[in-house]
Amino acid sequence: MYKLLVVDDEAKIREVIREYSEFNGYSVEEAEDGMAAVAKVKENDYDLIIMDIMMPKLDGYSACKEIRKVKDIPIIMLSARGEEYDKLFGFELGIDDYVVKPFSPKELMARVNAVLARKNSKPQGPSDVLKFEGLEINIPARSVSVDGAKVELTPKEYDLLFYMVENRNIALSRDKLLSDVWGYDFFGDDRTVDTHIKNLRNNLGSYRDYIVTLRGVGYKFEV
């Protein structure tokens, strides 16, 4: 049984999410603010976190940063703010989806199911470490090194790089990347992909040119 952590300062919202989650066969624990959520994550393992952004003590974005320091758990953000900036900022932090309040509990559960399905469809078996000059990529270990120095990426940046490397020398459209890496094609836009590519290139340093821009199409990891 999958175990979810629902984080929101509104008890009624936690109650609704718990009711629908348990109906869908999930086990649920709750936290009323970001600090409580971080404490629970340090003590327990969860398969997915549903977390509000605007909360007392520690907001959702800050809690996400703290959680990422200790565990790589899929996170769906909830927010009453639907501005593009808020969504892009969340995706830059490595969240897996973003749902705007007021939301449909059924749609939220569909997104939970999709995120968990993507998480469990990733290959878990061993694989060779890939080396491209001084760029070393270890997909099972989720680690990247540039000239021997480990590079820290956000979870979504890891996913994007690994996907492109596994499909190297193949032209990948932005829509294809959104669909296969983010797992949806109706909330994201080109700028979501472009922002992550920009950050990824910056982290790869002198090996940034492995990621080639295909004008009017998308990108390609070219070796």
pLDDT, position 40? 95
What does the pLDDT read at residue 140?
77
pLDDT of residue 96: 83
pLDDT of residue 186: 42
* pLDDT for 20: 94
For the domain spanning 3-121, the CATH number is 3.40.50.2300
Q: What angle do CA 192, 140, 64 make, to 5 degrees?
A: 45
pTM of the model: 0.60
Nearest to 105 by CA among 23, 187, 183: 23
CATH of domain 130-221: 1.10.10.10
Domain with CATH 3.40.50.2300 in the chain: 3-121
Task: Return the pLDDT at 175.
Answer: 85
Mean pLDDT by 10 residues, the chain (223 residues): 93 95 93 95 94 90 89 88 71 82 90 82 58 89 90 88 90 87 61 90 94 92 89
Distance, CA of 100 to CA of 81 (rounded, Å):
7
Residue 165 contacts residue 137 (beta carbons within 8 Å):
yes
Question: Would you state the pLDDT for residue 84?
Answer: 65
Quick one: pLDDT at residue 87? 73
SS (H, E, C) the chain: CCEEEEECCCHHHHHHHHHHHHHCCCEEEEECCHHHHHHHHHHCCCCEEEEECCCCCCCHHHHHHHHHHHCCCCEEEEECCCCHHHHHHHHHCCCCEEEECCCCHHHHHHHHHHHHHHHHHCCCCCCCCEEECCEEEECCCCEEEECCEEECCCHHHHHHHHHHHHCCCCCEEHHHHHHHHHCCCCCCCHHHHHHHHHHHHHHHHHHHHHEEEECCCEEEECC
Of 27, 25, 33, nearest to 66 (Cα)? 33
